[in-house]
């Protein structure tokens, strides 16, 4: 009886240790708070974030990243600018190093706004907090998909790699929203 009890305790201990390792080092659940990533992510959706992606690799353009905005709050935004790049938006068009870059995840929103109105107000990287000419090394420029209602690099400046928690991989709640994140 004691041996069977010990085996159960050992199995639970191993499971607990593995759960902690997965949670701390590999994946984390995150809940979307607010409208800044609409219509692609909605308030209350539950996501799985890969912490290992930015430990083993570099952030990539258009990743939906979670980062520590403050000591108490994490934000979810899309990575737009990478280190060394000059970023601007003019007439609702994204420019990276002077070249047009398409943002297909905004197509639906752009079609729903009245003619002559822009989804994203014009800006250049020099106008953002910090007054940088390019995205500094070890930093990224982030924007929310809901450009009218997002606290992002336009107001908080560049996000350092140290602030990055991970890349959002998929939605698991609500059930009708289960799927990979584009």
pLDDT, mean over the chain: 90
Segment 149-171, tens digit of pLDDT: 999 999 999 999 999 999 999 99
SS (H, E, C) 26-61: HEEEEECCCCCCCCCCCCCCEEEEECHHHHHCCCCC
Among 96, 100, 104, 158, residue whose Cα is nearest residue 127 = 158
Which of 50, 77, 153, 168 is flagged as catalytic?
77
Over residues 60-73, the pLDDT tens digits come to 999 999 999 988 89
Among the listed residues 159, 154, 182, the one whose alpha carbon sits nearest the alpha carbon of residue 170? 182
Residue 77 annotated in active site: yes
Catalytic residue, candidates 36, 50, 150, 153? 36
What number does CATH give the domain 2-180?
2.10.109.10
**Prediction pTM value:** 0.85
**Can 36 be counted among the known catalytic residues?**
yes
Name which of 69-73, 91-95, 113-117 the model is least confident about: 113-117
SS3 72: coil
- For residue 17, the cross-strand partners are none
With 70 as the cut, is the pLDDT of residue 25 above it?
no
Domain locations in the chain as residue ranges: 2-180
């Amino acid at each position: 009886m004691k041996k069977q009890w010990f085996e159960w305790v050992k199995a639970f201990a191993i499971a607990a240790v593995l759960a902690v390792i997965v949670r701390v080092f590999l994946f984390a659940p995150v809940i979307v708070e607010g409208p800044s990533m609409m219509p692609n992510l909605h308030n209350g959706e539950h996501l799985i974030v890969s912490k290992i992606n930015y430990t083993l690799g570099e952030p990539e353009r258009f990743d939906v990243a979670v980062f520590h905005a403050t000591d108490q709050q994490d934000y979810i935004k899309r990575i737009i600018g990478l280190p060394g790049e000059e970023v601007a938006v003019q007439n609702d068009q994204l420019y990276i190093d002077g070249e047009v870059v398409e943002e297909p995840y905004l197509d639906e929103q752009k079609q729903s706004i009245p003619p002559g109105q822009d989804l994203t107000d014009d800006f250049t990287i020099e106008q953002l907090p910090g007054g940088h000419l390019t995205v500094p090394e070890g930093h990224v420029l982030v924007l929310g998909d809901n450009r009218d209602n997002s606290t992002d690099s336009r107001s908080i400046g560049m996000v350092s790699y140290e602030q990055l928690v991970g890349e959002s991989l998929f939605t698991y709640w609500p059930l009708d929203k289960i799927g990979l994140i584009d």
